[in-house]
Structure formats: C-alpha cells, structure tokens
A and B are shown apart, each in its own frame.
Chain A
C-alpha cells in the first residue's frame, strides 16, 4: 500500500508526512463510523465540524456508503471466539473383527468436524467415532438447537 500511494501521480508532490497523517485520519474516521454504525447524517455533521467542504463530504459519504457493508462484516469478524465449526465429514464403516475380538459386526461412524480458529485461521480437526445410537443422539441435540434458534428468531 505504500507503493500505490507514492506511485499515484496526484499524490507524489505532497509531503509524505502529511500524506501519512491524512491516511491515518481518514482510516480512523472510517473505522469509528463503522464501529458505531453511524448513519450518513452523523458522518456529514462530523465532517462539517472538521471544516471539510460540501463536495468533499459528499464524495466521502458516497464512497463510505459503497463499502459500508463490507466494512461491517470485516469489523464483526475481528475478535475472539471459540473454535468455529465450518464443515463436517463422516465415514461409515462396518466392523467385522479385531485381533482382540472376532465377529463384532457393528456399524461405526467416524465424524470429523472442520474447525477454524478466530486468531490463526486453521486448527486441527476434531474427530471422533460413534455408534449409530450416539450419532442419533448428536443429531437430535443439534436439531433441538436449530429448533430453538428458529423459535428465537420468531420472537
């Protein structure tokens, strides 16, 4: 980003220190507006107080409006949270025997939850085996959670 500022023909005559201040000020303004979910009226008022002229305020607000949603998504994703499940994969096996026990004849599931860390992104997956009954228990509980979620959103 340093290079794209110094390469821009409009900007190369300006004192780099001033440029840096402007960039920082603009960034702070944008982030604060985003954090507070400020509407355009509030932003305009703020910029008026900063003695910006009407044309600049309008330009700023138009650009802000264009990027507002993306900004909110970005800000919302910053922060700590428990390991986040992104996907699941499963494997069904039919156990026949082991060296300890023959003729077991039992279905067995291997479930892998793909998880993401809010900080570093990747994280080793959580894998576990379960019987059919246990998987039914798990699915039942997940369905309870989903039903609860649905009821909550209807309130």
Chain B
C-alpha cells in the first residue's frame, strides 16, 4: 500500500527506531535534536514531525530502556503480622512476641515472596536504621552532589 520495497521499509523503521532510542537515551535537548536531523536534509515539515515524535515518546522510551539496566531484586511490598508464641514442644507457658513478615520482591519479571520474622527489639532497630537511611538524602552533602550533578 505504501508502494515501497520491503527492504526500504525495514531500513526506514530501523533508522527511525535508532534515532528515537538514541535521542531518548541521551536525553538530548530540542535544539540538539533539530541540529542532528538537519544534516539528513529532510523537509522542514518532516523535521518538525520528527521532533514532535521524539518529544511525545521520549518519556516512555526512557522508562522502557530503564528496564534493561542491570538490576538487583527490587522491593515490591511488605505484609506483616503480629504473633505471640504461647508454647512449643520444648517450653510451655511462653509469651514470646514476634513480627512475621512477607517481603514481596520483583526479580527479573518474577515476583518472589519471602517469609521473615523478627523480635520487637530488632524491629525497632530496623526502623531506626532505615529512617537514618532515608534522612541521608536530605543532608547537605547529598544535596550538594545532586545539585552539582545536574
């Protein structure tokens, strides 16, 4: 229907794909994009279309590309439950509080769930440590780095 050869069409699509992915990957500015495609000698109308195509799809392309980076299992969610152990085979009449958790992680497109348990003292320790971790981004040191990186 387009009246061009299969090869030409394929090359066209590959070229377009390459153009859009490279531009999105590098997050180049509008001006840089325009300058880059100017070299190709297309009409002004086509250049405008290509620019619009780039700007419209850039975010989505970047989020797809981010999936390709090496990754560790990542946090998905946490369920928790409060338990009190009252007795066991070795010891009766206990009152042993514990927090049982199910940690859901995303690992290479699979979701894994791991059951973990901890005692009240360790729970408070975990909270304290992780709150410290969260606070780090707000320190002057981190703020300075973030400012200077951009």
B50 at the interface (CB under 8 A from A): no
Q: Assess whether B25 is in contact with A100, with CB atoms less than 8 Å apart.
A: yes
Whether the Cβ atoms of A79 and B125 lie closer than 8 Å is no
Task: Report yes or no: B62 in contact with A142, Cβ–Cβ below 8 A.
Answer: no
Q: Which residue of B lies closest to A115 (CB)?
A: B116
Interface of chain A, main secondary structure: mixed
Determine the residue in chain A with the shortest Cβ distance to B69: A98
Whether A46 sits at the interface, judged by CB under 8 Å, is: no
Of the four ranges (under 10, 10 to 19, 20 to 34, 35 or more), the interface on chain A belongs to 35 or more
CB of B145 closer than 8 Å to a CB of A: yes
Query: Which residues of A approach B to under 8 Å, CB–CB?
Result: 34-37, 72, 75-76, 78-79, 81-90, 92, 94, 96, 98-105, 107, 109-111, 113, 115, 126-130, 132, 134-139, 141-146, 148-149, 152-153
Give me 21 A-to-B residue pairs in the complex whose CB atoms sit less than 8 angstroms apart, sorted by A's number: A37-B92, A72-B91, A78-B89, A82-B100, A83-B117, A85-B118, A88-B126, A92-B136, A98-B68, A98-B70, A100-B68, A105-B149, A126-B114, A127-B73, A128-B72, A130-B74, A135-B75, A137-B75, A146-B120, A149-B97, A152-B97
B residues bordering A, Cβ < 8 Å?
25-27, 62, 65-66, 68-75, 77-78, 80, 82, 84, 88-94, 96-101, 103, 105, 114-120, 122-127, 129-131, 133-134, 136-137, 142, 145-146, 149-150
